[in-house]
Amino acid sequence: MHDVLIIGSGLGGLECGALLAKHGLKVLVLEGSNQPGGCMQSFRRGGLHYDTGLHYVGGLAPGQTMHRAFAQLGLMDLPWQRMDEDFDHVIIGGHRFVFHQGYETFAEGLAKDFPHQREALQSYIRRLQNITAADMDVCAYDYLQETFSDELLLNVVSAAAMKTELRRESLPLFNFAHTCSSYIESSWRLVGDGNLLVNRLTDIIEEAGGEVLTYSKVIRLTEQDGRVISATCANGQVYEAEYFISDIHPAVLCELLEECPSVRKTFRRRMQAAENTCGMFTAQLRIKPGALRYFAHNAFVYDKPNVWTMAEENEPVKGVMISGRVPEDGSENVRQIDLLTPMPWHECKEWIDTKVGRRGDDYKAFCQRKTEQCVALAEQYIPGLHDMVEQCYTSTPLTYRDYLGSPEGGAFGMRKDCRMSMLSFHSVSTPLPNLLLTGQSIILPGIEGVTMTAFETCGKIIK
C-alpha cells in the first residue's frame, strides 16, 4: 500500500513524486513506456544524447520564481549555465533584434530599435511582472495590439513565444505572459541532457523509499465508496494507494475511469471534447566537428512579420527556433543544433494510422522536405548550415503521440481559450476526492507552468 500513486512520469509527475517523497510520503510512479521523463527525457544516437523537449529554463537566478521552486525540489545543484545576456535573437524579414535578460534592459534594448514605442515597452514589462488570474480572460493578441502601435514590434515581442501555441483569437494573456516572463528574468541551459533532471527527481523518490516503474501502463482505475482504491496495469499488476495523481492527458485519463460511477459523463465529455494544441516538427542536427562555434543564446527566424499566423500558412516553413546544445567536452564548438517549427495535426493526416518506423517512404520524404525548409530559413542566422550537418533526426506530432501518449501530438497539452476560461483552465481536483491532476494540460504548459501546477497538486495532499 502506497501513500500516493502517480500515473505517468513526465516532469509534473516526477516533481509531484519528489515533493511528496520529501514530505515523508511513500510514492509509486507508474510509467507505461521504457523510460521515465516524458518531454524531459533524452535519447542516444551515434554516441550523442538528444533532448526531446528541454532547451532552456527561465528564472533560475536567486530570488526568482523558478529558483525557489527548483531549490525546494533539489534541482538547483545540477549543472545550470547562464545564457548570454542577449539570450534570444529575433530575425524577421532579414532584420535582427535582440532580447536582453532583465526586464528593464529588455525594454531599453528594444527601445533602441523602436524609440517611438519606449513607453509602450515600459507598460508591457510592468504587465508581465503583474499577471493575475484575471488575465485568463484577456486575449493576448488584443492586448498586444492595444499596447503597441507598431505592428513589427508586436511581432518582435511575440517571436520567442513559439514555445507555446500562438492563436490570435483565443490565447490568454495569462499563458503568453508566463511563457515570456521568466526567460526575461534570466535564461539558463543545462550542461548535459534532460535525463540529468529526470534522474535527479527519480533518485529523490527512490532514496525516500518510493519507486518509479517503467513498462507499467495503467489501463483501469477502480472506485469504491466514492474514492479510487487501485490502479490496474496492462501487465496484470494491481496497486493500491491512499491518493492518486494523473500526469497523463486528461482525455486519456477518462478512458481509465469508465468503471468509476462517481465520475459523471459531463466531466468525461468536457475532457474528451477539449481541443489540443498544435504539435512541433523538430530537426535535430548533428554538426560536423569544428564546423560551428557554440552560441549561448537562441535564435528565432521568420521570413516576414507573421509570427501569429505562420503556423496557419502552408509550406514552406515560415518560422523556426534555433537552439544549440552546450558542449559537454569544454570545447568552443557545438555538435548539436535543434530546429523547431509549429506543425498542426492536419499535416499528419496521411500517416495517422501508422506506427513508429513503419510510416513509409512518403513520410520520410515529407520529413526530409520539412528539414530542408527549416535549414534554409535557419541559414539566415547560420550561413552555410546545410554543409555543416553530418546527421539529422526528426520528430513530428506523430512522434509525440506514439512515444509520449499526447493526443494529436499536441506539444502544449490542451488548448486554453480566453473566451471560455472557466472551461479550458482546469482545476487539479476531480470528482473523486483522492484523484488529482497535474501536467501541462491543467493550467500552463512549459517547465514553469508544469512546475507551478505540481506544487498546486501537492498542496491538496500536504496540508
HEC profile for the chain? CEEEEEECCCHHHHHHHHHHHHCCCCEEEECCCCCCCHHHCEEEECCEEEECCCCCEECCCCCCHHHHHHHHHCCCCCCEEECCCEEEEEEECCEEEEEECCHHHHHHHHHHHCHHHHHHHHHHHHHHCCCCHHHHHCEHHHHHHHHCCCHHHHHHHHHHHHHCCCCCCCCEHHHHHHHHHHHHHCEEEECCCCHHHHHHHHHHHHHCCCEEECCCCEEEEEEECCEEEEEEECCCCEEEEEEEEECCCHHHHHHHCCCCCCCCHHHHHHHHHCCECCEEEEEEEEECCCCCECCCCEEEEECCCCCCCHHHCCCCCCEEEEEECCCCCCCCECCEEEEEEEECHHHHHHHCCCCCCCCCHHHHHHHHHHHHHHHHHHCCCCCCHHHHEEEEEEECHHHHHHHHCCHHHCCCCECCCHHHHHHHCCCCECCCCCEEECCCCCCCCHHHHHHHHHHHHHHCCCC
Query: Is 463's pLDDT higher than 80?
Result: no
Backbone angles phi, psi at 254, to 5 degrees: -60, -30
- Distance, CA of 128 to CA of 119 (rounded, Å): 14
Give the pLDDT confidence score for residue 228 in this predicted structure: 97
Distances (CA, A) of 423 to 207, 237, 275, 277, 427: 39, 35, 11, 15, 10
- Distance, CA of 164 to CA of 381 (rounded, Å): 22
Give the pLDDT confidence score for residue 65 in this predicted structure: 87
Give the pLDDT confidence score for residue 49 in this predicted structure: 86
For the chain, list the domains and their CATH numbers: 2-54+193-274+416-459 (3.50.50.60), 101-188 (no CATH), 278-409 (no CATH)
Nine cell digits for residue 276: 489540443
- Distance, CA of 89 to CA of 381 (rounded, Å): 9
Nine cell digits for residue 134: 484575471
* Contact (Cβ atoms closer than 8 angstroms) between residue 16 and residue 247: yes
> Mind listing the pLDDT tens digit for each residue in 440-456?
999 999 999 999 999 99
Give the pLDDT confidence score for residue 265 in this predicted structure: 85
Give the pLDDT confidence score for residue 46 in this predicted structure: 84
- Distance, CA of 394 to CA of 281 (rounded, Å): 7
Average pLDDT over residues 289-315: 93
Query: Is 266's pLDDT higher than 90?
Result: no
* Contact (Cβ atoms closer than 8 angstroms) between residue 366 and residue 356: no
For residue 316, cis peptide bond before it (omega within 30 degrees of 0): yes
Average pLDDT over residues 153-179: 96
Q: What angle do CA 380, 82, 69 make, to 5 degrees?
A: 120
pLDDT band for position 311 (50/70/90)?
A: confident
- Distance, CA of 164 to CA of 296 (rounded, Å): 21
Instruction: Give the global pTM.
Output: 0.95
Give the pLDDT confidence score for residue 332 in this predicted structure: 94
pLDDT band for position 396 (50/70/90)?
A: very high
Residue 281 C-alpha from the chain's centroid: 13
- Distance, CA of 280 to CA of 113 (rounded, Å): 31
Contact partners, residue 378, CB within 8 Å, separation at least 6: 299, 301, 320, 322, 339, 385
> Mind listing the pLDDT tens digit for each residue in 168-191?
999 999 999 999 999 999 999 999
Averaged confidence pLDDT in the chain: 95
> Mind listing the pLDDT tens digit for each residue in 70-128?
999 999 999 999 999 999 999 999 999 999 999 999 999 999 999 999 999 999 999 99
pLDDT band for position 264 (50/70/90)?
A: confident
Percentage of the residues of the chain whose pLDDT score is greater than 70? 100
pLDDT band for position 340 (50/70/90)?
A: very high
Of 47-56, 220-229, 295-304, the least confident: 47-56
